[in-house]
Amino acid sequence: MKMILVKAGGSAVTDKKKEFTPRIDVIEKVADQLSRSGKQIILVHGGGSFGHPLAKKFGLQHGFTDKSQIEGVSRTRYSMTELNQLIVSTFIKKGIHAVSVQTSACFVCTDARISLSFLEPVERFLQLGCVPVLYGDVVTDTKMGFCILSGDQIVSYLARKFNPERVIFGLEVDGLYTKDPVYADAELIREVTFSDLKSIGGGETGDVTKGMKGKLSEIENMRGVEVDLINLTKEGTLLKALKGDVIGTRIR
């Protein structure tokens, strides 16, 4: 069976307006749908209010510039572990055999791009029938000292390594829009080709990893795989997408 890669966006699984605040209802909804799908899954979640405010406060996206940032490296790493634990424990309560995989222990970057990885545990846990759960994180970088590795870059990397059946990005909006969905005339795009992605703006989110623009540039690296963008906060969307229905935006 081919596996499905799911990215649970930080803006869907946390309250971006309140630091360190999870959206338990969304996390439980995700868990329910994953457990009902019967699919093999690798899940990657974002940082949301557990990652981005701290990363921004200490300027972690710029890499090492000053010793005072190291406190931020440690605190951000710890905070991401807390969010990950919460997600994994919710999954386990719902009967999913989730296994946390610490991102900074299996990826090293060079200029904020993955240059080294150790994914054998991910592959082997998957073969055992577990659901590996990775996350956007602060990782070491051979040039910058450290950097922020987004969950989106991890998904794009895993998609190229593991050739999944499909990739699903769970957001807090319905999909990809013709412009930032804060504008009333923004329209939801149902289907788009990889070649047309460049012409779409998408909108900013204030994330250190560049929000929708950053996401689209990672998606561009996944040509050949079917990619769905869906609203993770709505009832039943993930289960439908896992079964192959077009719920939000399909990119192919």
Segment contacting ligand IP8 by CB under 6 A, of 23-31, 46-54, 88-96, 189-197: 46-54
Site string for ligand IP8, 117-146 (x = CB under 6 A): -------------------xxx--------
Segment contacting ligand IP8 by CB under 6 A, of 43-51, 93-101, 184-192, 244-252: 43-51
- What are the DSSP E strand ranges found in the chain? 4-8, 41-45, 98-100, 107-110, 113-117, 131-135, 137-141, 145-149, 166-171, 176-177, 188-189, 191-192, 227-231, 249-251
Site string for ligand IP8, 206-225 (x = CB under 6 A): -xxx----------------
Q: Closer to ligand IP8 at the Cβ: 33 or 104?
A: 104
Cβ at position 19, least distance to ligand IP8 in Å: 12
Site for ligand IP8 in 142-171 (CB under 6 A): 148, 150-152
Q: Residue 124's beta-bridge partner residues?
A: none
10 part of the interface to ligand IP8, by CB under 6 A: yes
Q: Give the residue among 135, 132, 162, 109 at the shortest CA–CA distance from 8.
A: 135
Q: Closer to ligand IP8 at the Cβ: 44 or 239?
A: 44
Cβ at position 95, least distance to ligand IP8 in Å: 26
What does the alpha-carbon distance between residue 121 and residue 216 come to, in Å, rounded to a whole number?
28
With CB under 6 A as the contact rule, the residue among 16, 23, 52, 166 that binds ligand IP8 is 52
SS (H, E, C) 225-240: CCEEEEECCCCCHHHH
Q: Closer to ligand IP8 at the Cβ: 90 or 209?
A: 209
Q: Angle at CA 35, nearest 5°, toward 31 and 40?
A: 110
With CB under 6 A as the contact rule, the residue among 13, 43, 80, 227 that binds ligand IP8 is 80
76 part of the interface to ligand IP8, by CB under 6 A: yes
Cβ at position 145, least distance to ligand IP8 in Å: 15
Q: Which two tokens stand for residue 97?
A: 């055999």
Helices (H) and strands (E) in the chain, counts: 9, 14
DSSP assignment of 3-35, as one string?
-EEEEE-HHHHB-TTSTT-B-HHHHHHHHHHHH
Sequence-separated (6 or more) residues with CB below 8 Å from residue 239? 33, 36, 37
Q: Which parts of this chain interact with ligand IP8 (CB under 6 A)?
A: 10, 46-47, 51-52, 55, 76, 80, 136-138, 148, 150-152, 207-209
